[in-house]
Amino acid sequence: MFDLKTLDGSTAIVNQDTLDALDASLRGGVYQKGTPEYEDARTTWNSMFERYPGFVIRALGASDVQKAVNFVRETGLVMSVRSGGHQIAGHAVADETVMLDLSQMRSVHVDPVNKTARVAPGAQLGDVDRETQAHGLAVPVGINSTTGIAGLTLGGGFGWTTRKFGMTIDNLLSAEVVTADGAIVTASPTSHPELFWAIRGGGGNFGVVTSFEFQLHELGPDVLSGLIVHPIENAPELLAEFATIADNSPDELTVWSVMRKAPPLPFLPAEWHGREVLIFAACYSGPMAEGEKAMAALRALGEPISDVISPHKFVDWQAAFDPLLTPGARNYWKSHDFDALSSDAISGLLDAISSLPDPACEVFIAHVGGAMARVEAGSTAYPQRSAHFIMNVHTRWEDPSKDAQCIEWARKLYDQMQPHASGSAYVNFMPEDEADHMTGAYGENGEKLSKIKRSYDPTNLFRVNHNILPA
């Protein structure tokens, strides 16, 4: 017997016979507390969230997802959906609810002739990169190989190749979606076009995606990429130069800046380990010789501690930051968009870096634009299409006793930077306490999203997320 939360705010009892019948109907299965599958499903990348669903439905295909959606709709229960389990807000898992676990659906099928890929929702970015790079192809995704493709895509998706090839959603050709009424539909420009518009940035509010079809691009297998490390003392001048270089770079060149205490990387002198540094991370999505020319100005800045820009396998570069983003740590993020990096904004950032609450904490500034900025704001649910800088205050630590200190530091920096920010936000970087920032995430697209939500999910069945209410 299980007491579970219901959509109307009360609780309902689910008996064992009901679960046994559901289990028997699935290719996957139903798993309860105490089983390895249950523990594996409820354990997500961010260890801040120690939550216990009533039970887990582990799906192996669209039919399993359809049965799960029909079950929760007919019983009035609340359901969370987990794909990669990497989301900072922890919405993949909720107490006393039904968890739909898509993590075992990890297939990636590449069509090298048509340069497309069909990707299941449990696939991680590393899965996608390895399969596409086997054919010298790529789809623009994020920068951590353990991130789930579903959450990344549904929120927008940007990374090292976005300036050249657009956002992840700009390369989505179609998606198979299980909607709140249990229908399995194809969302594309010609089939359910409003749903297709909404899932490109609107998150998991409109259904459960069971398959993504992406356009691929020729890239690799090698790219010119790497890190340039400078003393933090030189950051005021260097960050101003970085902003100018980023704004004037060709689409193929992406440069991001990272401010943190230097990890014990083998190419850094030991005396710099643990000291505050400014790191430029760069990747050129094109021929090596052109990349050398494009990076010349960046590499000429200042007197770096280390410069390890060189050819790397693209699939390895995509996983280069994995050691700093391993599962199991406590994480809290805050994010702003900036149209430009002013001297006052730079000063505020550097003040915060001087008081990092933990050696694993960092602030990174991603520069986006290029192909992404040539898409009209209303073409997808994700609205912020201008060339701009995205700040992620990535607060990360191990000791639970430091929760209050680390979260307070992130919030303080977020508040200090607000006067310099544009007001928009990237929904995948928003923690769970930013429900009031949804207007910033969607801007003028918010009203249209609410209307589409009413059409496809009028009872708000898909609500354990950065929620968009039905109009």
The 3-class SS string of 93-105 reads CCCCCEEEECCCC
Instruction: For the chain, state the CA radius of gyration.
Output: 22
How is the chain split into domains, by residue range?
2-101, 108-218+444-456, 222-431
Contact 30, 55 (CB under 8 A): yes
**pLDDT value at position 254?**
98
**pLDDT value at position 440?**
78
Indicate the CATH number for domain 108-218+444-456: 3.30.465.10
**pLDDT value at position 3?**
85
Q: How many CA atoms lie within 13 A of 177 on its CB side?
A: 28
Contact 179, 185 (CB under 8 A): yes
Contact 407, 433 (CB under 8 A): no
**pLDDT tens readout for residues 96-105:** 999 999 999 9
Task: Report the top-level CATH class of 2-101.
Answer: alpha beta
Q: pTM surpassing 0.85?
A: yes
Angstrom distances, CA of residue 50 to CA of 91, 112, 411: 12, 42, 22
- Does CATH place domain 222-431 in 3.40.50.300? no
Helices (H) and strands (E) in the chain, counts: 15, 21
**pLDDT value at position 1?**
64
In which residue ranges of the chain is pLDDT below 50? none
